[in-house]
Structure formats: C-alpha cells, structure tokens
Chain A
Amino acid sequence: QEVTLRLSHWLPPQHAVPQTGMTEWTQSITEASSGEIQFEIFPAQQLGAAPDHYDMTRDGIVDIGYVNPGYTAGRFPIYELTGLPFLSSTGPAAGKAIHEWYQGDYAEAEMGDVYFCLVNPHEPGRFHGNMPIRVPADVSGLNVRPAHSTMARFINSLGGSSVQVPAPEAREAIARGTADAVTIPYEAMKVFNLAEVTKFHNDMPLYLSSQVMLFNQGSYDRLSDSQKQIIDDHCTPEWSQRFSEGWAIYDEGVRQEMIDSPDHEVFMPSDDELALWREAAEATVVGALEAVDAAGYDSEVVFNGLKDALAANDSAY
C-alpha cells in the first residue's frame, strides 16, 4: 500500500543537509519501494521548534524527526558523550562509528520509545572569534556562544562565559559585542554569514554535534513487512556515513575558503598547544562521565565502547 511519511527538520530548505544527504536518502527509499513510500518534508521548524523534535517524533506529531539531542541537556546522557571535545576529526566516518556504538542497548535505553534510524554529525566544530584563540587561557574572560551544553561546560571550565543565542543570531551577537567567539563548524561562516565578523579561526577539530534521524514507533509499525525491510536497509551505520558526506564536503569547501582568504587567519595549534587543550578538556570529560554514572551505567565501559568504535572506523582524534 502507498504511504506518505511526514519528515520534519529545523534547517532551512537550502541547507546542505536537506540538499544532499536527506534528498539522497529519501529518494533512495522511494525508489527502493517503487514509489510506495513517499515523503512530505517540513523544513525550518514549520511543525515545531528544533529542541522539541524528539518529543514530536515520539508523540506522532511527525512520522520522522531530524533531532539534535544536544539541544536538550541532560536528557540523553549517554548520547551526550558524542559531543565531548577531541573525540574525532571527521564527521561521516564518526557517524558510522557512533551508529554502531549507540544502536542496540544504548538506543533502547535512552531513545527506546522511537525507532532509531541514523546518525548525522557535522564536520567538527571549531573556535571562531573576533580575536585569536590559540591556547586554552585565551578563552578566559571571553563570552562564547557554545554549540551545546557540553561545549558550554567546556567554556565555563576554561573561565569563559557561555552566551545563549540562536545560531541565526550569532553574527549579530558578535557584531554587537554580546559574544566574542562561537564554537560551530566552518559552514556557519557561510550559512549564518559569520565570516563577516569572525576573522580568526582555530583549526583544531574541537567537537562533534551529531543529529539523529528517528521514526515514530507507530509510524514504523504500520508499514508492511517489505516496507519495513526497506526502511531497515536505510537505517544502517553505512547510511549514517553516506548521509553525512554531502555536509562534510560543503564544510571542507568553506574551510578551504577561509584558509585561502587574506582576510582570515586560520590557526593550527602545535603539538604542545594541542596537549594543553586536551588537558584542559579533562574536567569536561569527567563531568559528562559522572552524568552517565548517575544515570545508572558504567561510564567507563560506555565511553571506551565509543572510543573503540571510532578507532575501528579510523575516525578517532
């Protein structure tokens, strides 16, 4: 039977994700089902706010939700580990690794009321500021717009303050001096016009922000067996990697632009400086692991599992 699935996300329709990975993925499903499975895509928070996408998917307001678990601090402590500093330096392969690690028990424990489908990290986020940020001490006294709560904790631990503004307003926040820097991937230089105000970039791959694609359980259960099979085939670690590639290519293009531009300084820390950064990140890691312990898991096992999966996919830092 024919079925139309409502897919909701919060990115503008012309963004790299809906243009590349999401299009490829939905078209592949429609083709594999000979047109039986169609999609109605609702971009730009048309059906709900970005942080509500998990609840919207669970509650059936949409059939498929593109969710950033980092928007709801404390709710998915295991998954939040994926946002820790210095885990990985590349998005797509990390997406495959995180998928392999999280699917099964962890997904069941934290996101058990939905059908877990895909992991979609962006290329690692970095520091971009209106002044150079070369060593951890440079963050002290700065107002930084963090990408998610893990980054907020990292910035606070370095003696900086976190400033909450929506990503589209990050440019104004820096232009007006509300914030001095952001942690965000390179693409934001274009997507949110940040290149106009942040001329200094620290090129060290700092952290990942990994969105997930989830199905409402009922919407999945209503599919026929053959349709379920098609969805299962499109909810694999391999698809997590493939889904993320378009975004990574776009991000790398913007990075190269920044390197080539005479107006921008792209700084790569030396090994010694990198060691300082990694040491400074320790407190943040400890805090995140404590949250996992508090939720009733053995954080060491969980975290080692994540690091092993990343190493197995050649995507560890």
Chain B
Amino acid sequence: MASRAVGLVEKIAAVMLGLVTLLIFVSAIGRYLFARPVPDAFDLSRLTLAVAVMWGFASVAYRGSHIKVDLLAHGLPPRVRKWLDIAAWLALLVFTGAMTWKIGGRLISQWPRGELTMDLRLPHWPFLAAILVGLIMALAMTVGRLWRILRHGEGLEAHESYDGQDEGAGHG
C-alpha cells in the first residue's frame, strides 16, 4: 500500500522532470532556429523542477536512498545498526518537519498575492503549494520508513534499485 503510493508519487514527479527537459529542449530549438524562446521557459522550468524534486524527496525518504556514509554502519552488528538507522531517519524527520513548518509559513505569507513569473506574470504560489504538498508527503514517508525499520527491521539500504546502481549514482 505505502509502496504503491510512493511509486505513484515518484512517477508523477518523474514525468514532471521529463516535461521540464522537453520544455528547455523546445525553447532552445525555438530560440536558435526562430529567435523565439518559449515565454517563461525560465521560470516555468525551474519552478516545476522544484516541485518534482520535493515530491522525489518524499520517495527517497521512504526508500532510504539518500547519499550517506555507510562506512561505520556496515561494520556494526545488525542490532546496533538498526538503532543508528532509527536515529539517522529521526534526524531526517526533524529536518523535514522544520522545513515543512517554515515553508508552510512562507506560503501563507505569499498567498494569494506575491511573486510573479517574468514574462506571463503567473503567480508563484501554486508551485509553492505543490512543494509544500511534497514536503508533507515526505514527512509521512519518513515516518513510514521509521516504522518499517522498527517493526520489520528493514534498514536504509536502497529499495527497488536498478542493478544496484541508483544509490548515489549522480554524485561525482
């Protein structure tokens, strides 16, 4: 159940990433061939990508696939490791909680007026709201992971990875 919810959230975010890539592609072609970039390609792509990242943040919190230092953990007996994992994900919970609280406040102060996009002058706040939804999901999923560590002893090894190469495949 939880896994399927995470999968859905992740897919929606992944589609957003794909659309943003396409938007910049089209805008680059438009600019180069017709001297006509897509209006607001700049603001729309960065704001949409922000939403995708924050929704992805929720799924990564559930899967445990944040970049972390495994050096010590791998050398410890499973029982000790379990409690370290709980401590680590509690830290993530605190961090996410504080971010949700502060960004929620930012949304309230921006709504319904506030910053606009450069060309089309669309309001920023719907994006901010979607980011907040992502953070709230991240909170729920961090709790979900904590529950699974506590109840089922499932640690912080990345789940459902492809060929074991997705853990931190981007850094470096």
Contact = CB atoms under 8 A, between A and B. Distances in A.
- A/B contact in complex, CB under 8 angstroms: yes
Interface of A: 55, 72-75, 141-143, 146, 149, 152-153, 156, 161-164, 178, 295
> Chain B interface secondary structure, helix, strand, loop or mixed?
loop
B12 to A, nearest CB: 27
Interface of B: 31, 35-37, 39, 42-43, 106, 113-119, 121, 123
Given A74-B115, A75-B115, A163 B121 contact: no
B35 A74 contact: no
A84 B8 CA distance: 46
24 contacts: A55-B106, A72-B115, A73-B115, A73-B117, A73-B118, A73-B121, A74-B113, A74-B115, A74-B116, A74-B121, A75-B116, A143-B31, A143-B37, A149-B118, A153-B119, A153-B121, A161-B35, A161-B36, A161-B37, A161-B39, A162-B119, A163-B42, A164-B43, A164-B118
A262 to B, nearest CB: 30
Given A73-B121, A164-B42, A141 B115 contact: no
A219 to B, nearest CB: 20
A161 B31 contact: yes
A144 B109 CA distance: 33
> Chain A interface secondary structure, helix, strand, loop or mixed?
loop
Contacts of A75: 114-116
A55 B114 CA distance: 12
Contacts of A161: 31, 35-37, 39
Contacts, number: 46
Given A74-B121, A74-B123, A178 B31 contact: yes
Contacts of A152: 118-119
A145 B114 CA distance: 23
Contacts of A72: 115
Nearest to B42: A164
B108 to A, nearest CB: 14
A67 to B, nearest CB: 14
The 5 closest A-B pairs by CB, nearest first: A74-B116, A164-B42, A73-B116, A152-B118, A72-B115
B123 A156 contact: no
B133 to A, nearest CB: 21
A161 B119 CA distance: 9
Nearest to B37: A161
B128 to A, nearest CB: 13
Nearest to B35: A141
Contacts of B42: 163-164
A163 B118 CA distance: 10
A143 B118 contact: no
Nearest to A59: B102
Contacts of B39: 156, 161
A58 to B, nearest CB: 9
A164 B106 CA distance: 25
Nearest to A160: B35
A108 B114 CA distance: 16
B146 to A, nearest CB: 30
